């Protein structure tokens, strides 16, 4: 089975708007497994490293201020093809273009307040998981419902 790990983060607007539980519920109900989770305030250096691919973009400064503006909830999510499965649940980057039923489609309006981050490839997932979590913070366990989720 093609089990992957992906990095997911409820951004500061998601935390402030009381959407942590809603977002975690959607991931759980899909059948994904949470294997690491913490609430934290991101340091500027970590924010810049996390978003390094965007460092030349005009919105980079605003993006760094936003992501460091308050607590976030960082997670590692595991499941079959978890990277693309989670990106589908999250929806398009611009919440106005994101379909209803997706997290951004249901909860966001502006691209600079799009509620949630999720890795876009298995390579980004590895990189981002390593930036935010130590190996010992990521748990390996079996979940009772797995036999009902996977055939």
Residue number, 6 or 114, with CB nearest to ligand DAT: 114
Can you name the residues that pair with 123 across neighbouring β-strands? none
Residue number, 57 or 146, with CB nearest to ligand DAT: 57
Applying CB under 6 A, among 59, 97, 101, 138 the residue interacting with ligand DAT is 59
Could you say whether residue 112 binds ligand DAT (CB under 6 A)? yes
Are the CB atoms for 37 and 74 separated by under 8 Å? yes
Given Mg ion, ligand DAT, none, residue 26, with its beta carbon under 5 to 8 Å by kind, binds none
Catalytic pick among 11, 26, 104, 117 = 117
Tokens for 63, please give them: 């993006």
Residue ranges in 78-97 that form contacts with ligand DAT under rule CB under 6 A: 93
- Rounded to whole angstroms, how far apart are CA atoms 61 and 84? 28
Residue number, 25 or 93, with CB nearest to ligand DAT: 93
* Closest C-alpha to 63, from 105, 138, 117: 117
Are the CB atoms for 91 and 82 separated by under 8 Å? no
Could you say whether residue 34 binds ligand DAT (CB under 6 A)? no
């Amino acid at each position: 089975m093609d089990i992957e790990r992906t990095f997911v983060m409820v951004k500061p607007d998601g935390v402030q708007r009381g959407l942590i539980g809603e977002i975690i519920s959607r991931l759980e109900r899909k059948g994904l497994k949470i294997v690491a989770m913490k609430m934290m305030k991101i340091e500027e250096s970590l924010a810049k490293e996390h978003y390094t691919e965007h460092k030349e973009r005009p919105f980079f400064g605003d993006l760094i201020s936003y992501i460091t503006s308050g607590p976030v909830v960082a997670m590692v999510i595991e499941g079959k093809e978890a990277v693309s499965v989670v990106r589908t649940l999250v929806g398009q980057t611009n919440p106005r273009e994101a379909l209803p039923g997706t997290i951004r489609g249901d909860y966001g309006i502006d691209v600079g307040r799009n509620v949630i981050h999720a890795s876009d490839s298995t390579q980004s997932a590895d990189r981002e998981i390593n930036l935010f979590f130590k190996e010992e913070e990521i748990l390996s366990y079996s979940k009772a419902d797995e036999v009902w989720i996977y055939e």
